[in-house]
Structure 1
Amino acid sequence: MTTVRKRALGLAVALTMGLAACSGGGSGGGQEPAGQSLRMWTFKKSHADALNKAAAQFTAKTGIRVTVEAITPDDVFVSKVQSAAQTDGLPDVLEVHSSGEDFEMGASGLLQDLATDVTDAWKQRLLPSTRESGVLTQKKIDAVAADSPIKSGKAGQRFSVPFTAGAFGIVYANKDKLRAAGLDPATPPASWEEFLKALETTTAKGQGGLSLGLKVSQTGFNWIYQPLAFAHLGKERFHALFGKGTTQGFASPDGVRTLEAYARLTPYWMPGTTTLGIDEADIAFAQGKSAFAVGGTFTLAFLAQNGLSPDKVLAFPVPPTAEGTHKQISMAPLALTGLGVTATTKNREAAVKWIDWVTSPEGAGMVAKESLDLPATDLGTQAEALLGKDLAALQKHFSGPPESAYEAADDSFFPSDWDQVKPGDLTVRLTPLKELSPQQAGAELDKIVASMWKSTQ
């Protein structure tokens, strides 16, 4: 069970008992005028610090005071919300995980429906791939387990507004290590082949290879292999790898060719990479134990927290193969967190106004610059002025031709009970463990996918 699901189901139990006795909120009677104080809870300390600084600007503009509290770690956040739901002690605004936790909290009665508040103009200032995050769909309702609180929701309800966004498949290079190896620290590799050559050079010069938390096996499959295969094959042929009853799967010439390209990483993995979790691998990179690391746009903030300044890293998407379909690749962002208004707030109008402002270019830019987490707001030409050079350079990888944009959130071509751990474990056996050849790995992956399709039936 995922962390989000554990959190939300636990909340649902508390809400069943607690919210029946609480006010329903809403925009009707009992609203207090703007200018009242608002309280907000988040599960990220870096966001709380940044939001409190932004709140001072918001107060100056509106007279509405906002106090943001970070409640960490996740299990403590859950306990706090559960307790508050039973005692009418919830804050006015919550930051929650998008497209999952927000739905379960909203359908349970914890968060209000904001569908009529978020206008077309508001949505247009968000990154296109995040605009509908927080909006419950019938497909989502139909897909969840029978015991999920989402079953009681209604299609079209919006329980959060996208706040932060990110993408996987981002490579980070230590500029000092590139210089020490005689490589250009300002120019990313233009192709997969150039990336492999850079890894070969840094490894040979004693600067280290590539770190990734392969203890969580699906990171290699999701963050490197999938965008690499997408760029090499193009969207239709990439989707065909996962097709029901396909003859164009992983054991086909297309599939084997992509697995061969991925397996070329084998000599360059950081020693012990299969024993490292995601955070441990990122810390190893921040400590100079490898020249490269792979993560997401959100990894930059974690590296900074562990002593590696953003100006010391060169960031770029997983490069495409030289002979592939796409010569460039961008990473379509997905909403990571969203902001919701609690059902018990007595100042709904002010709460919506705060969320509106903090997801505007001005507010979102302020928070992003302080937290180093990219916003779901499209900052366009204002990005560098609002975010600074290093963070703006990272956000530019969200933009590119639609046909070459890799969408990690697109699961429309997977079996409905897709389990990413199984292909993750299999590709770890391919590389770095070298237990399988690309041909053997392709045949085994086809069996895994076929079994999931059969289970879906």
Structure 2
Amino acid sequence: MTNSRSPASSARASMSRRRLLAGLAAAALALGTAACGDDAESTDQTVTMWTFKNTHVAALEQVAAEFKSRTGISVEIEAFTPDDVFTSKIQSAAQTGDLPDVLELHAGGEDLRIGGSGLLGDLAPDFPDSAMARFLPSTRAAGLVTEKRRAEQEEVKNAKVGSLFSVPFTAGTFGIVYANRDKMKAAGLDPDKPPRTWEEFVGYLQATTRADPKQGGLSLGLKVSQTGFNWIYEQLAFAHLGQAGFEALFDKDPARGFASPDGLQTLRLYQQLTPYWIAGVSALGIDEADVAFAQGKSAFNVGGTFTLAFLSQNGMSAENLLTFPIPPPAGGKVTDLRLAPLALTGLSVSAQSRNRASAVRWIDHLTSPEGSGAFAKASLDLPATDLGAQAATLLGPRLAALQQYFTGPPENTYDAANRGFRPPDYDEVQVGDPLVKFSPLGETDPAATGTQLDKVIAGMWQKSG
């Protein structure tokens, strides 16, 4: 199962990326960097497309059928999973000149690496600013080569600034709570009413655990320790402290850090979850925690917007789900928390394509409001296209309810992609491990946990010089 959850697959992905970059560099050298892309446009009215997500194939085929009825252009879609298989397929096809016309790739990483090797076409001429305006603002630059990226990322150092190696396709964010409406009802809670505050959410956990002591609590894949920090704690701390106070936790000055009065208060809020984690939660992987929730072993589960599709695949009816972001604490700086979306996957055109014009038309249709809405409704993966007032009509009420959390005033919006205030070599695992020892394991108290987190952050700053 590949679900774009970076914390779960970072080590494996890093190895795959190194192999991919080496293989693509060799392929590009052998082929003279996209020699086929200079050939005359083919008259073939069939576009080929590869994806790494099996769960996207049926939805893509549904949109492709409508696209053919409009344009006469057929689209043939193939999926290769897991990621290592997809990587190998790209490497071998690049060496023989057999890449497809269109690729769905991990956005903001894989697209830049493959594009930087010369194997993706530049979509900037086809998607000027006026066309990019259709996408959610925080996703638009995922596949763009900037001065900063070229200076910092080896794989794009030879790429032209302004090159666009992908346009955003699917988008998502962490920090989404999924509630089992049946379990809420059984606990005497209103299954249509999300908690307005963190304190109310803790009360919901208390009620469902009282009604079902063994299967009424909270699940999360804490075997991947940084999920607790990234998917609950950060949103909670941001809402309590506001942008400036949240960023100060990672400052070089420990007086403003996790062991400060403000930092300790955020840890005390997080500690309120300790009695309500389901048994064995620290040994559950991300997918395992989601499956446990789908099987009724917890009343609440934390994931991302992308979790909805996985829950559905595992038998959880969307009609039995209430979804909401991590609720803000009462009296905090942010009372209506919003979550800026990340571009999860992007659409690229191969530089080897002989059907570039048709490939671009397919990408344009697939990212249009109608095309992206139809895809999202069929796949349960949210689009990067901003559907605005059309969301409820195009997506249906459940998906539209998730996308509404993407937009809001900047001061209320937690942005997981904003890393500028952290140490340059920030390591999520090093902050995730102490938090798991704190809760659910209960091995440390807020003061000791805050001190340890400050020590970890100080070490990262020292390492960076």
Q: How far apart, CA to CA, are the structure 2 residues paired with 1:254 and 1:12?
A: 44
Q: 2:417 aligns with which of 402, 409, 423?
A: 409
Instruction: Say if 2:366 is the partner of 1:358.
Output: yes
Change (3 A) 1:181 1:25: farther
The answer as to 2:342 corresponding to 1:296 is no
Output the CA distance in 1 between the equivalents of 2:124 and 2:15.
Answer: 26
Could you tell me whether the CA contact under 8 Å between 2:36 and 2:97 is conserved in 1? no
Identify the residue that residue 129 of structure 1 maps to in structure 2.
Answer: 138
1:336 counterpart SS class: strand
Point out the more displaced range, 36-45 or 130-139: 130-139
Pair 1:205-2:211 in alignment: yes
Equivalent in the alignment of 1:313 = 321
Alignment equivalent of 1:68, drawn from 60, 77, 101 = 77
Q: CA deviation at 1:62?
A: 1.3
Question: For residue 125 of structure 2, what is the aligned residue in structure 1?
Answer: 116
Name structure 1 gaps, 5 residues minimum.
Answer: none
* Corresponding residue of 2:350: 342
Corresponding residue for residue 40 of structure 2: 30
C-alpha displacement at 1:119, in angstroms? 1.3
Cα deviations by residue, 1:53-106 (Å, 9 ceiling, x for unpaired)? 100111111111111111111111111111111111111111000111111111
Distance 1:202 1:164 in 2: 33
1:337-385 alpha-carbon deviations (Å, 9 max, x no partner) = 0011111111111111111110010110111011000000001111111
Secondary structure of 1:363 counterpart: helix
Of the structure 1 ranges 68-77 and 411-420, higher mean CA displacement relative to structure 2 is found in 68-77
Shifted more, 112-121 versus 348-357: the winner is 112-121
* 1:272 pairs with 2:277: no
Q: Is it true that 1:182 corresponds to 2:188 in the alignment?
A: yes
Structural mapping, 1:196-275, within 5 Å: 196-206=202-212, 207-275=215-283
Equivalent in the alignment of 2:462 = 454
Alignment check: 8 A CA contact 1:9 1:149 kept: no
Q: How many residues align?
A: 453
Q: 1:57 to 1:171 in 2, by over 3 A?
A: same
8 Å contact kept, 2:37–2:353: no
Assess if the C-alpha contact under 8 Å between 1:166 and 1:296 holds in 2. Answer: yes
- Structure 2 distance, partners of 1:175, 1:149, is 47
d(CA) in 2 for partners of 1:8, 1:106: 13
Question: Is it true that 1:329 corresponds to 2:337 in the alignment?
Answer: yes
Report the alpha carbon displacement of residue 21 of structure 1 after superposing the two structures with TM: 4.2
TM-score normalised to the size of structure 1? 0.96
Q: Is contact 1:39–1:91 with CA below 8 Å preserved after alignment?
A: yes
> CA contact under 8 A between 2:168 and 2:347: conserved in structure 1?
yes
Structure 1 position 143, deviation (Å): 3.1
Q: Is the deviation greater in 90-99 or in 393-402?
A: 393-402
Question: Deviation at 1:156?
Answer: 2.0
Compute the RMSD of aligned alpha carbons: 1.5
Which is further off, 6-15 or 160-169?
Answer: 6-15
Using the alignment, how far apart are the partners of 1:38 and 1:154 within structure 2? Answer: 27
Between 1:316-325 and 1:112-121, the stretch displaced more is 112-121
- Show structure 1 runs of 4+ deviating over 6 A: none
1:444 & 1:270 partners in 2: Cα distance? 26
2:344 aligned counterpart, secondary structure: strand
Deviation at residue 454 of structure 1 after TM alignment? 0.7
Question: Residue type of the partner of 1:10?
Answer: R
Residues of 2 paired with 1:143 and 1:431: CA distance? 36
What is the deviation of 1:389?
1.3
Q: Deviations over 1:25-72 (max 9, x none)?
A: 687551124x62110000001111111110011111111111111111
CA contact (8 A) 1:213 1:277 kept: yes
